[in-house]
Amino acid sequence: MQHRARGGNGPSPTLTFFRQWLKNPLSVAALSPSGKQLARLMVRELPERPRRVVELGGGTGVFTQAMLDNGIAPAHLLVVELNEELHKFLQNRFPDVNVVCGDARELPAMVESAGFDRDSGVDAVVSGLGLLSMPRTLQRDILRAAFAVLAPEGRMVQFTYGPVSPVPRETLDELGLTVRRGGFAWWNMPPASVFIYQRARSRPITPVRAGDRNGA
Ligand SMILES: C[S@@+](CC[C@H](N)C(=O)[O-])C[C@H]1O[C@@H](n2cnc3c(N)ncnc32)[C@H](O)[C@@H]1O
C-alpha cells in the first residue's frame, strides 16, 4: 500500500525549506530539499522488510515519502526534526507517522517513548543531517545516539555532498564502526554520495587445539 502526502494546498516544501535555511543555514545545511534520485539511493540501502526505521533531520519529508512509497508502514517509522517549522510541516504532511521535534542527540529517550526500543530495537537510521558541516564532537554524539538505539546488525544510512565519508577515520575507530560507500546521486543539487555505517564485527577467534599448540 502506498501512503501519500496530504493534499497539495499546503505551503511549498521548497519555499518552506529555503525560509528555514535563511533563518538557520548551519543547522538546515542545504538550500533546498534532496531530490528523488538521492531518496531512492538512500532507501535502496535499507535492510529488507525493516520493522523499525528512524529518520533524523526529516526536513520537508523527501526521504519519509520515499520510505512510505517503498512499503514501510507509517507505524514502523519515527521521524526526528529539530526545526519547529519543519517539524510542523512534517506532521501536517504525514499525519500517520510519528514525527518528533527534538535533537538527534536525544534519540534514545525519543525511541523509548515511541516504544521503538522493544525487542531488538531499531533496524536502520536514515540520516538527512548535515553531518559534514557539524563540529566533530556533535557528529560523534549523534553517531553514539544512533548506535545506542540500533540493533546489533543495524545500520545508519547517511548522505553527504562530496565524494568521501563525512565521518573521519578517528571517529569511526573510536566508536568501532565500519563504513561502505553506497550510490552517487549525480542529479541531486548539489550531487551527493550515500554512505552506510555499521558496527565492526570482530573476527571469530579459532580455538587452538592441543596438538597445534605443541607444534604436532
Ligand atoms: C540537509 S537538511 C536535510 C533535510 C531532508 N532530509 C532532505 O534530505 O531534504 C538537514 C535537516 O536536519 C535538521 N537537523 C539539523 N540538526 C538536527 C539535529 N541535531 N537533530 C534533528 N534534526 C536536525 C535540519 O533542521 C534539517 O531539516
pLDDT at 4: 47
**Residues 96-110: tens digit of each pLDDT:** 999 999 999 999 999
How is the chain split into domains, by residue range? 31-200
Residue from 100, 129, 144 whose mutation best tests the ligand 1 pocket (most atoms within 8 A of CB): 129
Q: What are the pLDDT digits (tens) for 12-30? A: 999 998 899 999 998 988 8
pLDDT in tens, 159-195: 999 889 999 999 999 999 999 999 999 999 999 999 9
Lining residues, ligand 1, CB within 6 Å: 27-30, 33-34, 56-59, 62-63, 80-83, 86, 103-104, 128-130
- The residue-averaged pLDDT of 35-52 equals 96
CATH class of the domain comprising 31-200: alpha beta
CA of 127 from ligand 1 middle (Å) equals 8
- Provide the pLDDT confidence category of residue 2 given band limits of 50, 70 and 90: very low
Closest residue by CA, ligand 1 atom 13: 57
Extract the C-alpha cell encoding 162: 562530496
Mutate to test the pocket of ligand 1, among 82, 86, 101, 194 (most ligand atoms within 8 A of CB): 82
DSSP 137-199: HHHHHHHHHHHHHEEEEEEEEEEESSSS-SS-HHHHHHHTEEEEEEEEETTSSS-EEEEEEEE
Q: What is the pLDDT of residues 83-136, one digit of tens each?
A: 999 999 999 999 999 999 999 999 999 999 999 998 888 999 999 999 999 999
- The confidence band for 60, taking pLDDT boundaries of 50, 70 and 90, is very high
Selection from 46, 23, 20, 37 nearest residue 155 by Cα: 46
Question: How far is Cα 198 from Cα 161, in angstroms, rounded to an integer?
Answer: 20
